[in-house]
Amino acid sequence: MSRPGKKRSRATLPDKEGSAAKFTKSKTQEEEESMIPAAKERNSKPVGSGTGKTTKETCPSAQGSKQAYSHWLMKSEPESRFEKGVDVKFGIEDLKAQPNQTACWDGVRNYQARNFMRDMKVGQEAFFYHSNCKEPGIAGIIKIVKEAYPDHTQFDKKDPHYDSSSTKENPKWSMVDVQFERMTKRFIPLSELKAQHQAHRASGGPLKDMTLFTRQRLSVQPLTDEEFEFVLSLEEKPS
């Protein structure tokens, strides 16, 4: 999925136009596209710690303010893989090597994942998850340093994620900028998260509804505060 940007010649540095977070949205189309009916089954505990909040859930269709999440998990591939001739490898070490240890998270081409990126706020933290590799799992923590703005790779014909259906006037895809914060104290493998998830399904523990398992293919996903804290607590355990 995403190929967080490496190459940006200019986009790299945090931008220039302030927070361009939302381009004009013409109401009619735009966020909508979540087309995934189930978007809300995780009813239980959201909470946003941060701010906002409000709105309880369920607003029928239109937009609805959903619950505010404040923690995320973002997947990226740490091993080389070529897509249309371009290596999409981008592990946490690649992020650390960027100027200012910051990169734009480009290449996301799934509406639900995109919409979650549009909900991200500066300062929020996310787990950097290594996918499609020898040892999948959580490698570190990153933070959002720039809110959603148009993903330039959608307009680049040579980019593996070029989208001929998108226009500059009404860009379809967004990205955020993220900065390396730290490695987790130890690598937290998927196998361990899965074992916890399974145990919690039986016991009602904090990972019982973790999106990593309930929507396995989603590359950008929210975590409740409780999920985030629990995963962090695993750092302290001897593996």
How many whole angstroms separate alpha carbon 230 and alpha carbon 127?
13
3-class SS of residue 51: coil
Q: How far is the CB of 48 from DNA (least distance, A)?
A: 23
* DSSP annotation of 19: T
DSSP β-bridge partners for residue 86: 83
For DNA, which residue of 7, 194, 200, 201 counts as binding (CB under 7 A)?
194
Binding characters for DNA, 18-57, by CB under 7 A (x = yes):
-----------------xx---------------------
Numbers of helices and strands, H then E, in the chain: 5, 8
Q: How far is the CB of 188 from DNA (least distance, A)?
A: 12
How many whole angstroms separate alpha carbon 82 and alpha carbon 197?
32
- 143-182 residues in contact with DNA (CB under 7 A) are none
The residue count for binding DNA (CB under 7 A) is 21
How many whole angstroms separate alpha carbon 45 and alpha carbon 123?
21
Rg (alpha carbons) of the chain, rounded to whole number: 17
Q: How far is the CB of 105 from DNA (least distance, A)?
A: 13
Q: How far is the CB of 76 from DNA (least distance, A)?
A: 8
For DNA, which residue of 65, 110, 166, 179 counts as binding (CB under 7 A)?
110
Of the candidates 84, 126, 93, 94, the one whose C-alpha atom is nearest the C-alpha of residue 7 is: 94
- 69-88 residues in contact with DNA (CB under 7 A) are 75
Window contacting DNA (CB under 7 A); options: 43-51, 96-104, 175-183, 211-219 = 211-219
Of the pair 9, 80, the CB lying nearest DNA is at: 80
Q: How far is the CB of 44 from DNA (least distance, A)?
A: 19
Q: Where are the alpha helices (DSSP H) in the chain?
A: 92-96, 111-119, 190-203, 211-214, 225-234
CB atoms within 10 A of CB 123: 10
Of the pair 48, 118, the CB lying nearest DNA is at: 118
Residues of this chain that interact with DNA (CB under 7 A) are: 1, 35-36, 75, 109-112, 131-133, 136, 190-191, 194, 214-219
